[in-house]
A and B are shown apart, each in its own frame.
Chain A
Amino acid sequence: MTDVLLKVEGLTRYFDVSKPWLNRVIERSEKQFLTATADVSFEIRRGETFALVGESGSGKSTIAKMIVGLLEPSAGRIDFDGQEMNFHSDAAMRTLRRRFQMIFQDPFASLNPRWRVGDIIAEPIRTFGLLRGPAVMREVGRLLDVVGLSASDVGKFPHEFSGGQRQRIAIARALSSRPEFIVCDEPTSALDVSVQAQILNLMRDLQDEFGLTYLLISHDLSVVRHMSNRIGVLYLGRLVEQADGKKLFTEPQHPYSRMLLDAVPDLELSGRRRRQVEGEIPNPINPPPGCAFHPRCPLAFDRCRVELPQPVPTPGGQAACFALKPGG
């Protein structure tokens, strides 16, 4: 058997951002679509952490939502452990759903403020019918212990906890269905750095202990480098580069990856100056033709303005750029 746990192929998602019907008729305007994700393909191997990085509008959260079934893809397919995910079939999904979970960005919004911690963590256990009776709360207590809280916290409400502690509760909830795969959507970007370190360490420990596979969504390259085995770089809904964790940072291939690396603040005080990056991310409703990055790209030439580059192999993975020679 293959060790690929999640395979995404040609994943595409449009959003209808048109004005209401009546306005369109009166103003004689066309329907408008925003391409949040276009033709994204990647594989995640069992036990690894695959990261998707990108700035706002890159479509990274859209991909995460499609993978866990919160959004329906406009095109493309998602295979989980060799089985195609079909969110229309409840029966087929019932067993699959238990095997993946999600951790969200905002620990203040991801826990129902009216529920007690015990019920929050027990929700997946009860929904999947994994345990019954007093065994449920015993398991919840054990999970609280695993994430560094106390079993006596079951009766409390979320507002009695700090941001970092809430994120631990959210992690305990994600673990409670004993999943193999967890989508982590910006799990630490709402937290303070000292708390971020605790959560990142916890996530690593849990990965080692339970053999978890992570899809990590983040805009923070330092976090991504610290956590991931492989990384995909997104720009305006397209995967511009995929590479091994180390290689992306030592030999970034795509000009956008290089630009992102240059923009990371220099904490070592080595005197390295951030390179000035030209311009900002264009409006995704009307992306530039050809390679969407060409207006900001220092290497852009005529071909980039008209033709969409396809991924070519690079030493660490693949990248979609005409300035790269095929084969690296």
Chain B
Amino acid sequence: MTEPLLSVRDLVVEFPTRRGTLRAIDKVSFDIAEGEVLGMVGESGAGKSITGSAIIGLIEPPGRIAGGEIWLRGHRIDNLPREKLRRIRGKRIGMVFQDPLTSLNPLYTVADQLIETIRTHIDVGEKEARRRAIALLDRVGIPAAARRIDDYPHHFSGGMRQRVVIALALCAEPELVIADEPTTALDVSVQAQIIDVLKEICAERGASVMLITHDMGVIAETADRVAVLYAGRLAEIGPVRDVIKHAEHPYTAGLMGSIPTLTQTSKRLVQIPGSMPRLNAIPPGCAFNPRCEQAFERCRTERPEPLARGGGRQVACWLYDRAEARHD
């Protein structure tokens, strides 16, 4: 097997508070292959955004990476000095955030920001950088890019701004793009456009994508594989089709059932009782066990590690442990 582009091993992120240390990410491991789109889903507080921040080294203090390793193409990046990490960010890892307004500086034109980013990371002249910037804006679907490049961010509508942000994330030709809720702030009719642009342009350039979202629909349309986080732990990871159609972890199954769809016929939605525990009250054993209808003794005492299930799937659930196979 070829080396993955990004490899996260046993990542632990902790936030010390005066009432004890909270583990926001607890031993999460996953890989992102070259050119792959990995979706990362979970409820708010499950740790999906913090995982993204950890990879680019932007955990807000006093939070810190307390364990594990992050490898980018065979080089460890979680313990790099800040300056080196800053160079990786932007150059090798691009970022797209939820709110396009916060990722663009309102005081500079789009051209200023694109050209500066290109020239910081790639050794080209001003003219060439501008040419590239216009080509990129054109590619992300901004009409009359050559003229609009000199506009300020507030001249663009929400959807157009997010396109600019995508252009900005991709202008240094990164190997990995981390997109954190890129469509959440947009209207439904615009969401589809943005997802398509992001997916196509990354595919064109061979960039891998880590797509962080709470929206299963976006994942289903975009991702190759999906990782499901629950209370800072990996519940399930695998090819998107398998996970969505045949979820194995009871949490994923419940999550899928709870989403109303346009073709649904039953009157009631499947519902998981209760809510995700707060980080200071994660139960022993499997974090999901109090809400799980299939939980048994072992789930309450012993934490399940992700088990390989074939076809690239892993499920952290004792139901699938051979020793525990009770039926057939």
Specify which chain B residues have a CB less than 8 angstroms from the CB of A194 in the assembled complex.
43, 254-255, 258, 271-272, 275
A201 cross-chain contacts in B, Cβ below 8 A: 268-269, 271
Q: Which residues of B contact A267 (CB under 8 A)?
A: 216-217, 220, 244, 256, 259, 261
**B263 proximal to A (CB < 8 A):** yes
The answer to whether A265 and B263 touch across the interface, beta carbons within 8 angstroms, is no
**Does any Cβ of A come within 8 Å of B80's Cβ?**
no
Query: Is the C-beta of B123 less than 8 angstroms from some C-beta in chain A?
Result: no
List chain B residues, Cβ under 8 A from A225. Answer: 260, 262, 264
Q: A165-B275, A193-B214, A194-B271 are in contact. Are A226 and B260 (CB under 8 A)?
A: yes
- Binary B-proximity of A204-242 (CB < 8 A = 1, otherwise 0): 100000000000000111110110000000000000000
Q: Which of B43, B192, B257, B260 contacts A263 (CB 8 A)?
A: B192
**Residue-by-residue, is A152-172 near B (CB-CB < 8 Å gives 1, otherwise 0)?**
000000000011110000000
Contacts of B159 in A (CB 8 A): 280
Tell yes or no: A195 within 8 A of B by CB: yes
Does B157 sit within 8 A of A, measured CB to CB?
yes
Assess whether A4 is interfacial by the CB under 8 Å rule.
no
Q: Are A269 and B255 in contact (CB under 8 A)?
A: no
Contact across chains for A198 and B189 when beta carbons are under 8 A apart: no
A269 to B241, Cβ gap below 8 A?
Answer: yes
Closest to A57 in B: B187
Closest to A249 in B: B262
* Given the contacts A194-B255, A201-B271, A265 and B190 also touching, CB distance less than 8 Å: no
Task: Report if A151 contacts B (CB, 8 A).
Answer: no
Answer yes or no: B308 CB below 8 A from chain A CBs: no
Among A55, A222, A223, A280, contact of B160 (Cβ-Cβ < 8 Å): A280
Check: A27 CB closer than 8 A to any chain B CB: no
Residue with the greatest number of chain A CB neighbours at <10 A, chosen from B191, B254, B260, B267: B260
**B275 adjacent to A263 (CB under 8 Å):** no
User: How far apart sit A198 and B255, CA to CA, in the bound complex (Å)?
Assistant: 11
Closest to B220 in A: A267
Pairwise interchain contact B187-A281, C-beta atoms closer than 8 A: yes
Contact A198 B271 (CB under 8 A): yes
* In-complex Cβ contact of A200 among B44, B191, B257, B260 (8 A): B260
Find B187's partner among A163, A223, A276, A280 (CB 8 Å cutoff): A280
Within 8 Å CB of B276, what residues of A? 162, 192
Give residues of chain B (258-313) contacting chain A, Cβ–Cβ below 8 Å: 258-264, 267-273, 275-276, 278
Quick check: is B69 within 8 A (CB to CB) of the other chain?
Answer: no
Residues of B within 8 A of A195 (CB): 43, 275
A192: chain B residues at CB < 8 Å are: 43-44, 214, 275-276
Shortest Cβ distance from B211 into chain A, in angstroms?
13
0/1 string, A244-263, CB within 8 A of B gives 1: 00000100000000011101
B139 to nearest A CB, angstroms? 15
- Asked if A280 meets B272 with Cβ closer than 8 Å, knowing A192-B43, A222-B262, A267-B261, the reply is no
| Nearest residue, chain B, Cβ from A165 | B275
Closest chain B CB from A245 CB (angstroms): 11
For A9, what are the chain B residues with a Cβ–Cβ distance below 8 Å?
none
Q: Is the CB of B214 within 8 A of A268?
A: no
A264 at the interface (CB under 8 A from B): yes
A197 within 8 A of B: yes
Q: Mark B107-128, 1 if CB is under 8 A from A, else 0.
A: 0000000000000000000000
Interface residues on B, range: 35 or more
Q: Is B196 an interface residue (CB 8 A)?
A: yes
A222 to B220, CA, bound (A): 15
Q: Which residues in B have their C-beta under 8 angstroms from that of A269?
A: 220, 240-241, 244-245
Chain A residues near B275: list those with CB within 8 A.
162-165, 192, 194-195
Q: Is the pair A277, B220 in contact by a Cβ cutoff of 8 Å?
A: no
B218 close to A (CB within 8 Å): yes
Is A266 an interface residue, CB under 8 A from the partner?
yes
- Asked if B215 is at the interface (CB within 8 A of a chain A CB), the reply is yes
* A18: chain B residues within 8 A (beta carbon): none
Scan B77-105; emit 1 where CB is below 8 A from any A CB, else 0.
Answer: 00000000000000000000000000000
- Alpha-carbon separation in the docked complex, A197 to B272 (Å): 8
Cα A266 to Cα B109 with chains together (Å): 37
- Contact code string B33-58 (vs A, CB < 8 Å = 1, else 0): 00000000001100000000000000
In the complex, chain B residues whose CB is within 8 Å of the CB of A260: 188-189
With a cutoff of 8 Å between Cβ atoms, the chain B residues found around residue A197 in the complex are: 257-260, 269-272
Q: Which residues of A contact B245 (CB under 8 A)?
A: 269
A222 touches B221 (CB 8 A): no
Contacts of B221 in A (CB 8 A): 265-266, 274
- Asked if B21 lies at the interface with its beta carbon under 8 angstroms from chain A, I say no
| Contact A266–B217 (Cβ < 8 Å) | yes
Complex Cα distance A259/B188, Å?
A: 10
Contact B216 A193 (CB under 8 A): yes
- A150 sits at the interface (CB 8 A): no
**In the assembled complex, A112 has its CB within 8 A of some CB on chain B:** no
Closest chain A CB from B144 CB (angstroms): 14
What separation, in Å, do the CA atoms of A163 and B254 have in the docked complex?
Answer: 19
Contacts of A280 in B (CB 8 A): 157-160, 187, 189-190
**Hey, which chain B residues are within 8 Å of A266, CB to CB?**
217, 220-221
Name the one of B189, B214, B259, B264 contacting A277, with C-beta atoms under 8 angstroms. B189
Query: Roughly how many angstroms separate A162 CA and B256 CA in the complex, as a whole number?
Result: 21
Measured in the bound complex, the distance between the Cα atoms of B190 and A295 in whole Å is 15
A74 at the B interface (CB under 8 A): no
| Complex Cα gap A266–B221 (Å) | 7
Residues of A within 8 A of B191 (CB): 263, 265
Cβ of A196 < 8 Å from any Cβ of B? yes
Q: Judging by beta carbons under 8 Å apart, are A221 and B187 in contact?
A: no
User: Which of A198, A204, A223, A265 contacts B215, CB < 8 Å?
Assistant: A265
Minimum-distance CB pairs A-B, first 4: A265-B217, A197-B258, A192-B43, A226-B260
Jot down 6 A-B pairs with beta carbons below 8 A, ordered by A. Answer: A55-B188, A162-B278, A192-B43, A194-B271, A264-B262, A266-B217
